[in-house]
Chain A
Amino acid sequence: MMDYDYMKPASMKEVFTLLKEYGPKATLIAGGTDVMVNIRNRELSPEVLISLRGLHELRYIRKNDGYHIGALTTHRMLEQSDMVKGELSALHDAASQLGSVQVRNVATVGGNICNAAPSADTAGPLLALDATVVLEGPDGRRSVPIADFFTGPSKTVRKGDEVLVEFHIPEAPGRFGSAYWKHARRRAMDLPLLGLAVGLALSESREIFDARIGLTVAAPVPMRAHKAEEFLKGKPLEAEVLEEAGEIASSEASPRDSLRSKAWYRREMIAVFVPRMVRLAAERIRDK
């Protein structure tokens, strides 16, 4: 078994001091549902774990100039928030299907994003909700659109001396709804073989005013299907329109063959589920 030291700072200032002191010998840990497994699998061998779980001020879901979600917010908190369910539905869909109750009780949304798995459940919804990632370093904060946050599998723009502290989701334009589809073989304890999130805004005449499509396991990093989004804008919610948007999104993606699925199957499922998630997002707008 790996031996390492464990630090639990009570303030961001202490976190930065420890990160400076230990540098690459240290690994940040939040809920630990990835980090602890990576250590066990010998994919990580830190000399010290710096726990962020003492930073209680980073656990929150607030509405005020859009939505603010603290990085240490657990998936269980997102799952149980009525505001998230009603107003950020895609994020509720993702949070409530991640892992198990035991995992959701500890796993954090900041950890899910920093771990940067191509299959990260919350990445698609955060893309579809146009979230911004707020990073804090010793010299202050900076914001990065989530679409620019991922640079490769397990790789992000977060620097070694920075901590992801918050997600900011702008207030959606007018009549807005969102939905996430986790395409997996099992209904529990599985990773998606494809993740697909849609954020949709409709005009009074029920034309598509704005559309955002977030895809995961569709490319080396979570991605937006910009061409399909542009195609949808200004168009009516009609079957042929949605089907064509699905085909466009499918052609934008660059999925690969992997243990869980094949590239051709992922492409076909993108074409199938873009229309379904646009329709579900539209139904949720109607139900409001």
Chain B
Amino acid sequence: MKKVSISFTLNGDEVTAEVPPSWTLLKTLREYFELTGAKEGCGAGECGACTVIIDGEAVNSCIYPIPEVEGKSVTTIEGIAGKDGTLHPLQKAFIENNGVQCGFCTSGMIMSAKSLLDRNPAPTRDEIRKSIAGNLCRCTGYVQIVESIEKAAEMIKGAK
């Protein structure tokens, strides 16, 4: 099978992947880099479990062709904690406010929420709900997730 060489920034590091051009970003993350935080739920851009951030924008990595990642900056759930292991406020808030139940949607939820908070540090509840409209959770009923994101926004504001 033909392979292509794709260079990009992954969680702050310059990396190169040698993978078939028909691979998606999600498959490359999980099977080439062994970063399994982003999940495959539907594989069709419906559920958001595979959400990562590319150049500041949340995208579904399951339908993102790997050749399009060349030269871009990708952030996954594995890249948002500090180098010393300090959790990101979103991670802390999800743990403390029961934003996690089975956990399958969690990394996608957090990445969607991060792309929101990075540009809008004080979102309304409606803005939060719209930002995670593309992330399905079958456990929580979303209430604790929305609360977790609100708490994270407060933590980020308090830290500044």
Chain A residues with CB under 8 Å of chain B are 1-6, 8, 29, 32-33, 36-37, 40-41, 49, 51, 53, 76, 99-103, 105-106, 187-189
CA A102 to CA B109, docked complex, whole Å:
11
A6 with B59, Cβ < 8 A, contacts A101-B131, A103-B134, A187-B133 known: no
13 residue pairs A–B, Cβ–Cβ below 8 Å: A36-B63, A37-B44, A51-B68, A76-B57, A99-B45, A100-B133, A101-B131, A102-B51, A102-B58, A102-B59, A102-B112, A105-B58, A188-B133
CB pair A189–B133 under 8 Å, yes or no, is: yes
Provide the residues of chain A in CB contact with B21, threshold 8 Å. Answer: 4-6
B2, B4, B57 — most chain A CB neighbours (10 Å):
B57
Mark interface residues in B64-99 (1 if CB within 8 Å of A CB, else 0).
Answer: 110110000000000000000000000000000000
CA distance A1 to B24 in the complex (A): 11
Nearest B residue to A103 via CB reads: B45
Contact B22 A100 (CB under 8 A): no
A187 to B64, CA, bound (A): 24
A105 touches B133 (CB 8 A): no
B1's partner among A3, A29, A103, A188 (CB-CB below 8 A) is A3
B123 at the interface (CB under 8 A from A): no
> Is B41 in the interface zone, CB < 8 Å from A?
no
* A49→B22 CA distance, assembly (Å): 9
With both beta carbons as reference points, the residue of chain B lying nearest to A186 in the complex is identified as B133
CB distance from A107 to the nearest CB of B (A): 9
| Partner pick for A8 among B48, B67, B134, CB 8 A cutoff | B67
Partner among A3, A53, A101 whose Cβ is within 8 Å of the Cβ of B115? A101
10 tightest A-B CB contacts, nearest first: A100-B134, A188-B133, A6-B21, A36-B63, A105-B57, A6-B67, A102-B60, A37-B44, A102-B134, A4-B22
Q: Measured between C-beta atoms, what is the minimum distance from B20 to chain A in Å?
A: 6
- For chain B residues 101-132, which have a beta carbon within 8 Å of chain A? 112, 115, 130-131
CA distance A269 to B57 in the complex (A): 36
Chain B residues with CB below 8 A from A8, complex form: 67-68
- Say how far A186's CB is from chain B's closest CB, in angstroms: 9
Instruction: Give the CA-CA distance A116 to B45 in the complex, in Å.
Output: 19
CA distance A8 to B71 in the complex (A): 13
Are A99 and B68 within 8 A (Cβ)?
no
Kindly state the separation between the CA atoms of A204 and B122 in the bound complex, as whole angstroms: 43
Q: Per-position contact with A for B24-68: 1 when CB-CB < 8 Å, else 0?
A: 100000000000000000011110100100000111100111011
Give the chain B neighbours of A99 by CB distance below 8 A.
45, 134
Q: How far is the CA of A105 from the CA of B134 in the complex (A)?
A: 12
Using Cβ atoms and an 8 Å threshold, which residues of chain A touch B136?
A: 189
Minimum CB–CB distance from B142 to chain A (whole Å) comes to: 11
CB distance from B94 to the nearest CB of A (A): 19
If the complex has contacts A2-B22, A37-B45, A102-B112, are A32 and B67 also in contact, measured as CB distance less than 8 A? no
A106 and B72 alpha carbons, distance in the complex (Å): 14
* Contact among A3, A33, A51 with B20 in the assembled complex (CB-CB below 8 Å): A3
Given A36-B24, A99-B45, A100-B134: A6 in contact with B60 (beta carbons within 8 A): no
B45 pairs with A6, CB closer than 8 A: no
Taking CB atoms, residues of chain A closer than 8 Å to B20 are 3
Distance in Å: Cβ of B51 to nearest Cβ of chain A: 6
A29 to chain B: closest CB distance in Å?
7
Contact A189 B46 (CB under 8 A): yes
CA distance A53 to B64 in the complex (A): 12
Query: What residues of chain A lie closer than 8 Å to B4, measured between beta carbons?
Result: 6
Complex Cα spacing A8 to B6, Å: 13
Question: How far, in angstroms, from A5 to B4 measured CA to CA in the complex?
Answer: 9
For the complex with contacts A4-B21, A36-B65, 20 further pairs of A-B residues with Cβ separation under 8 Å are: A1-B22, A4-B22, A6-B21, A6-B67, A32-B63, A33-B60, A36-B64, A51-B67, A76-B57, A100-B133, A101-B112, A101-B131, A101-B134, A102-B48, A102-B51, A102-B59, A105-B59, A106-B60, A188-B134, A189-B136
